């Protein structure tokens, strides 16, 4: 099977996992599946195992194990359950690990893959937001490559060749000085023009209806509050080793330009494409090559006008909170992420209103929680403390 890249997909039944597997399905001459990991959707995982014939599959939810075993009994495929066993799959040597689990639940497996020196195509931004210092330090020690799947970061990755060399102990290799700053674009989500007075009445059903991208529920709500872009600014800080002041954001509702890199000589290089996650995923999978997956072409004449505006902090206070958390540093981004995950889950469950999301995150950030970020265990401890505080506020609503 020389020339065929072996792939492990973490979060195989989620949105990123499905898009990745669609590319593998389309290009079986280039990719083969080594391992698949899912959270609790054992029916879907079993179906994927029958289709892609992985060597090993893992399910986080241990209670699903007997049912899953039954469904894949005719396959020559190893089967494991639980977080520890699933992280072991992430550490098994392959050409690409696709980290597609949403939320901090993805951190142990991301860390396992990074520690093993793998090339990790990462969509799990929460790992970098909460544990960016630990994950990137570990990557330098192990020689792991972290390739961004998040479309804006993938755009910067495509535009900035010098970045490729920077993930080494010798930072002078990385041409860091050629860069002035970067810009991540934002669609503005479904409520870009909704009168601010109507925000209190926003329901989960309207919040998950994103105008450009088809995504999971958590990230769709994060896009509606623009917390997603705030998390992405923090993600960019760690991925590209930049100062907060070097990371700009512009609202660009047409979503044709995904990211821009401003160089020291006045040149700006931008990446454009249709809003389809398969473009950034395919680049992270095929890098340093490109995959001809027959995407829909971007019709610039049909779009006609491209617009760019600054983020309005009154409309998107979550974005401002995230920026403040990045500048504050320390545990603030981990607290921000934990509080946001709890708040978004409560909002999707109908327990709190849309505007409560920012109130809960703000309250947790001003709580003066203490902790350190030297190890994954320490990150998880501060994450848990922040979650408990956020859950108390949810329960009091």
Residue whose CB is less far from Mg ion, 152 or 345: 152
Distance CA 307, CA 251 (A): 8
Residue whose CB is less far from Mg ion, 126 or 152: 152
- Shortest Cβ distance from residue 71 to Mg ion (Å)? 34
Distance CA 123, CA 235 (A): 10
Distance CA 146, CA 30 (A): 21
For the sheet containing 145-148, what is the strand order? Answer: 78-81, 56-59, 31-38, 5-10, 96-99, 119-122, 145-148
CB 259 within 8 A of CB 182: yes
- Shortest Cβ distance from residue 150 to Mg ion (Å)? 4
Q: Which bin fits 36, alpha (ψ -120 to 50), beta or left (φ > 0)?
A: beta
Residue whose CB is less far from Mg ion, 32 or 186: 186
- Shortest Cβ distance from residue 184 to Mg ion (Å)? 8
> What single string gives the DSSP state of each residue in 189-243?
-TTSSS-GGGGGG--HHHHT--SS----HHHHHHHHHTHHHHHHHHHHHHHHT--
Tracing tokens 């990446």 back to the chain, one arrives at: 271
For the sheet containing 268-272, what is the strand order? Answer: 247-251, 179-186, 257-263, 268-272
Distances (CA, A) of 140 to 12, 147, 166, 355: 27, 14, 10, 40
- Shortest Cβ distance from residue 163 to Mg ion (Å)? 17
- Shortest Cβ distance from residue 186 to Mg ion (Å)? 8
Residue whose CB is less far from Mg ion, 19 or 87: 19
Q: At 383, phi and psi to the nearest 5?
A: -60, -45
- Shortest Cβ distance from residue 63 to Mg ion (Å)? 33
Residue whose CB is less far from Mg ion, 232 or 356: 232
Task: Please report, as ranges, the residues that interact with Mg ion according to CB under 5 A.
Answer: 150-152
Select the residue whose beta carbon is closest to Mg ion and give its number: 150
Residue 151 three-state SS? helix
- Shortest Cβ distance from residue 188 to Mg ion (Å)? 13
Residue whose CB is less far from Mg ion, 87 or 255: 255
- Shortest Cβ distance from residue 190 to Mg ion (Å)? 15
Residue whose CB is less far from Mg ion, 151 or 340: 151
- Shortest Cβ distance from residue 223 to Mg ion (Å)? 8
Residue whose CB is less far from Mg ion, 87 or 124: 124
Residue whose CB is less far from Mg ion, 13 or 187: 187
E strand segments, the chain:
5-10, 31-38, 56-59, 78-81, 96-99, 119-122, 145-148, 179-186, 247-251, 257-263, 268-272
């Amino acid at each position: 099977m020389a020339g065929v890249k072996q792939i492990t997909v973490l979060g195989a039944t989620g949105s990123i996992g499905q898009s990745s597997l669609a590319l593998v399905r389309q290009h079986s001459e280039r990719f083969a599946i080594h391992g698949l990991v899912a959270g609790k959707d054992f029916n879907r995982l079993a179906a994927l195992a029958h289709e892609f014939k992985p060597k090993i599959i893992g399910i986080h939810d241990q209670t699903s194990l007997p049912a899953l075993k039954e469904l894949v009994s005719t396959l020559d495929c190893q089967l494991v359950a639980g977080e520890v066993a699933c992280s072991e799959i992430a550490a098994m040597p392959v050409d690409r690990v696709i980290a597609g689990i949403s939320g901090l639940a993805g951190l142990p497996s991301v860390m396992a893959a990074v520690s093993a020196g793998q090339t990790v195509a990462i969509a799990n931004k929460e790992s970098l937001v909460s544990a960016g210092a630990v994950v990137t330090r570990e990557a330098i020690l192990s020689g792991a490559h972290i390739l961004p799947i998040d479309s804006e970061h993938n755009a910067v990755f495509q535009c900035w060749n010098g970045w490729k060399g920077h993930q080494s102990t010798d930072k002078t290799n990385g041409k860091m000085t050629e860069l002035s700053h970067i810009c991540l674009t934002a669609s503005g989500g479904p409520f870009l023009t909704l009168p601010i007075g109507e925000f209190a009445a926003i329901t989960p059903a309207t919040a998950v209806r994103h105008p450009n991208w088809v995504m999971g529920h958590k990230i769709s709500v994060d896009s509606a509050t623009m917390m997603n872009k705030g998390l992405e600014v923090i993600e960019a800080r760690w991925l590209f080793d930049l100062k907060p002041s070097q990371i700009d954001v512009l609202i660009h509702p047409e979503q044709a330009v995904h990211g821009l890199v401003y160089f020291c000589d006045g040149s700006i290089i931008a990446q454009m494409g249709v809003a389809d996650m398969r473009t950034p995923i395919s680049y992270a999978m095929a890098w340093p090559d490109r995959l001809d997956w027959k995407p829909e072409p971007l019709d610039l004449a049909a779009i006609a006008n491209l617009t760019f505006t600054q983020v309005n902090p009154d409309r998107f206070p979550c974005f401002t909170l995230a920026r403040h958390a990045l500048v504050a540093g320390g545990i603030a981004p981990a607290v921000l992420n934990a509080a946001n995950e709890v708040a978004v889950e409560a909002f999707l469950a109908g327990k709190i209103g849309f505007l409560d999301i920012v109130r809960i995150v703000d309250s947790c950030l001003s709580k003066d929680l203490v902790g350190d970020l030297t190890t994954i265990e320490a990150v998880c401890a501060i994450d848990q403390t922040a979650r408990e505080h956020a859950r108390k506020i949810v329960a009091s609503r």
